[in-house]
Amino acid sequence: MTIFASHIQTTGSLSLSGSVKMKQEEITGATETALNFSDATNFKISLGTNITISSSEEVNNVGQSGVIVLVQDGTGGRTVALPSEWKTPRGDSITYDTGANNVNMISYYVLSSTEVAINYMGDFS
């Protein structure tokens, strides 16, 4: 059975057999890189420049979780600035591995319309 819907809401429990694939949005990083949490659950950002991330639609996606993959280009050294609404454990800062072609990951959970909890998961290159 195939179900097509832009939004499914259920109360109680939902059982599935098989797999569930969450949409990944692939983005080419720009100086200002916007993530819309209504567009996807997971994001892959190719870094060819230093970027500042912004996010939107938290209010409509409280409880959503996913990952953000940051892929350095062949030059490396690209920096990433995060929104002030994104909170790390204990307020720790994140230091990314910026070598050429390095792959860094951030997990996130939308806590509220104004706060996103994140955790840096390291370099996966």
Q: What is the pLDDT of residues 39-83, one digit of tens each?
A: 999 999 999 999 999 999 999 999 999 999 999 999 999 999 999
Q: How far apart are CA 44 and CA 66, in angstroms?
A: 11
Checking if the pLDDT of 1 tops 60, the result is no
Residue whose token pair is 């909890």: 117
Retrieve residue 107's tokens. 């997990």
What pLDDT, on the 0 to 100 scale, is given for residue 7?
62
Mean pLDDT of all residues in the chain?
Answer: 90
